[in-house]
Amino acid sequence: MLFTAILYISFFVFLLGLSYKVSTWFSLKIGIASKNFTTSERMSAAVKGILGVIFSPKILILVKVFILDIILQRRILKEDFLRWFMHMLIFIGFMMLLLMHAFDSFITAPLFEEYYSTVNPFLFLRDFFGIMVLAGLTIAAYRRFILKVPRLKTSPMDYYAIIILTIIMISGVLLEGIKITSYTEFQNMVENYSGLDDEEEILTLEKLWVKDFGLVSPNVKEPIDPALIPLSKKLHNMNCAECHSSTEWAIMGYPVARLLKIVALRLDQLGGVNAFWYIHFLACFIGLAYLPFSKMFHFIASPVSLLANAVMDKNKSLPANIATRQAMELDACTHCGTCSLTCSVAMAFDKTGNLNILPSEKLVFLKTYASGKDLKENEIKAIQEGIYLCTNCDRCTVVCPVGINLRELWFNVREDLIQKGTPIPLVLSPFSFYRGLNQQKLDSKNYSNPVSLTKDAITDKCGLIKNPDKVISLTPVNKEFKKKVDLSFQATTYSYCFSCQNCSTVCPVVGNYENPQEALGLLPHQIMRSVGLGLKDLAFGSKMLWDCVTCYQCQEHCPQGVKVTDVLYELKNLAIKESFNNE
């Protein structure tokens, strides 16, 4: 039979997809942490880790997380009640439909001796759970398309998830509605389940079904003679009531049946029941077969992420298991956008439009990146800015509803992404502090590459710095450059400098070197004078610019009121802009 064949095929595809996806958890290499492990090492480490947890008191943590975070979804509730409500409606509604309705012959029937899909409470509950899912989907669509939650991006996967669930639900409701009205269905049921064969009796029964239960029959015209009803009811009670509750209990199907009344006969003749039956089942089968590759896969991966993160510890867990967990976490992400909503630097996305700044979108990037996609130069630049423009405030990790340890994920992929041999302007900013703080965890051989590469990229464009013997031409003065130093009103104060060298004398950076000129190129007072003389190369190219600790000693001590530190800040802005953005 076609139905069974499709069911088995889609289930087979699902299993195949599932095993493929789970196998990628052990094979995908993400960032620097996974470099040294083979797939088999990661698999055996996983078995060891899982057994270690199951046979230890940690199992209690798993039970707790399972109840609070997976079933009750406490982490979503903490962030946003509406979202929790939405997700619970879909989660409970869909799971119950799956268990009670879709798997009725495996679960509900063996559990309840009296089970018929047509009797209460099952008849009612099916529609009740359906309403839950549809209400949840409505809230989901409302949040994404009307409420426009800030920074909540909708990807094709999000559309797919909402659409496939909606098709399954709507086709189910329509199928039920049409079935209620269907004369063919009625005939079949009378034939199969009732003891009636007298046509007159069947017609009498039909009248009650037309009047009360939504049937649309070609033989019965309303209004129906009330005198016949007691007999109809008697026939109904004897033949139908035992296995069929009133269709009015189908709180969605019944109103739909009533709405379809006018077209019901035509629909029945055209085989409407069959058509919607196919749509409903095909949608379910497609949903099932494609599940491992869709956002819906999170219903497997997210609980795994929550459980794994509850018992794993960066310092104690096997490194191979952390590599595996990070690959799995890419599947656990539901693209819900909570991280981006709470991100400390998300404003930078609003300003620059670089999606990779948002944690939720970085994860989307990582999914394609981990699968081995080659990156174009501008994509590399964007992800490098995105991964580095991060204060490591951990807020994304704290709020992630599926418990993804984003802090460790970023740390792991950041190093990989910035070691591509290209200059990254942001490494010359205090964003580098975190990397410096954690340098012992990094490969010391390549550690300083990104910074020196970027510094060199800037100096390379400064001819005068590269050839100190070159004669400086002071005419004509580079007025254009001087004009640019005006981002803040303070910067133009460089023109008051008369080279008294107070700034360089109090500078702790200058004081740190025995031969500061050699180490730093230009000293602060020389930089001030360079700007005054319009010598862009000297102003941009000296190491002093990037070694400035911004302690404001120079500015505080300038007798002329030159805002030395602010001018240096300004030059840094300009040097980055001119060296990297105008290519």
CB of 360 to another protein, least distance (A): 16
Verify binding: residue 82, another protein, rule CB under 8 A.
no
Alpha-carbon gap, residue 324 to 34, rounded angstroms: 8
Query: At closest approach, how far in Å is the CB of 155 from another protein?
Result: 23
**Residue 329 CB, nearest distance to another protein (Å)?**
19
Q: How far is the CB of 377 from another protein (least distance, A)?
A: 20
Which one, 27 or 573, has the nearer CB to another protein?
573
Q: Residue 256 or 399: which CB sits closer to another protein?
A: 399
Alpha-carbon distance of 133 to 122, in angstroms, equals 16
Cα angle, residue 282 at apex, residues 276 and 284 outer, rounded to 5°: 105
Q: Is the dihedral of CA 199, 204, 208, 210 positive or negative?
A: positive
Cβ of 48: how many Cβ atoms within 10 Å? 13
Q: Which of 488, 495, 498, 499 binds another protein (CB under 8 A)?
A: 488
Number of neighbours of residue 477 by Cβ within 10 angstroms: 13
402: closest CA among 343, 367, 360? 360
Residue 553 touching another protein (CB under 8 A): yes
Stretch in the footprint of another protein (CB under 8 A) among 110-118, 240-248, 359-367, 572-580: 572-580
Q: How far is the CB of 440 from another protein (least distance, A)?
A: 6
**C-beta of 88: minimal distance to another protein in Å?**
23
Q: Rounded to an integer, what distance in angstroms lies between the CA atom of residue 92 and that of residue 132?
A: 8
Using CB under 8 A as the binding rule, the residues of this chain from 144 to 203 that contact another protein are: 150
Note whether 375 binds another protein by CB under 8 A: no
CB 580 within 8 A of CB 425: yes
Structure tokens at 74: 């406490």
For residue 423, whether the previous peptide bond is cis, meaning omega lies within 30 degrees of 0, is no
Using CB under 8 A, pick the residue from 17, 214, 386, 425 that binds another protein: 425
Q: Which is nearer to another protein, 138 or 344 (CB)?
A: 344
Closer residue to another protein in complex, CB, 152/173? 152
- Is 403 within 8 Å of 75 (Cβ atoms)? yes
Per rule CB under 8 A, is residue 560 in the interface with another protein? Answer: no
Is 42 among the residues that bind another protein (CB under 8 A)? Answer: no
| 446 is an interface residue for another protein by CB under 8 A | no
Interface with another protein by CB under 8 A: which range of 60-68, 90-98, 415-423, 485-493? 485-493
Q: Give me the 316-355 binding string for another protein, x by CB under 8 A, dash otherwise.
A: --------------------------xxxxxxx-xxx---
**154 CB-near residues (< 8 Å, 6+ apart):** 144, 145
Q: How does DSSP classify residue 405?
A: -
Per-position x/- string for 512-531, each x denoting binding to another protein as judged by CB under 8 A, each - no binding? x-------------------
Nearer to another protein, 352 or 478 (CB): 352
Instruction: Kindly state whether residue 489 participates in binding another protein, applying the rule CB under 8 A.
Output: yes
Pick the piece of the chain touching another protein (CB under 8 A) from 29-37, 282-290, 387-395, 470-478: 387-395
Q: Does 426 bind another protein (CB under 8 A)?
A: yes
Q: Does 394 bind another protein (CB under 8 A)?
A: yes
Give the nearest distance from C-beta 32 to another protein in angstroms.
Answer: 17
Q: Please tell me whether residue 439 binds another protein under the rule CB under 8 A.
A: yes
The DSSP string of 316-356 is TS-HHHHHHHHHHHHHH-----HHHHH-TTHHHHHHH--GG
428 is a contact residue toward another protein (CB under 8 A) = yes
Count of residues in contact with another protein, rule CB under 8 A = 59
From CA 465, how far away is CA 12, in angstroms rounded? 67
- C-alpha to C-alpha distances, 193 to 185, 190, 209, 241, 242, nearest whole angstrom: 12, 6, 15, 11, 10
Tell me how far, at minimum, the Cβ of 479 lies from another protein, in Å. Answer: 22
Rounded distance between C-alpha atoms, residue 136 and residue 209, angstroms: 33
* AA letter at 504: S
Q: Cis before residue 425, ω within 30 degrees of 0?
A: no
Residue 575 CB neighbours (<10 A):
22
Stretch that binds another protein, among 140-148, 247-255, 376-384, 546-554 (CB under 8 A): 546-554
Region of 82 (left: φ > 0; alpha: ψ -120 to 50; beta: rest) is: alpha
Do residues 424 and 393 lie in contact, with contact meaning Cβ atoms separated by under 8 Å?
no
Q: For binding to another protein (CB under 8 A), which residues are involved?
A: 150, 342-348, 350-352, 389, 391-395, 398, 407, 425-437, 439-440, 448, 451, 487-489, 508-509, 512, 546-553, 555-556, 563, 565, 569-570, 572-573, 576
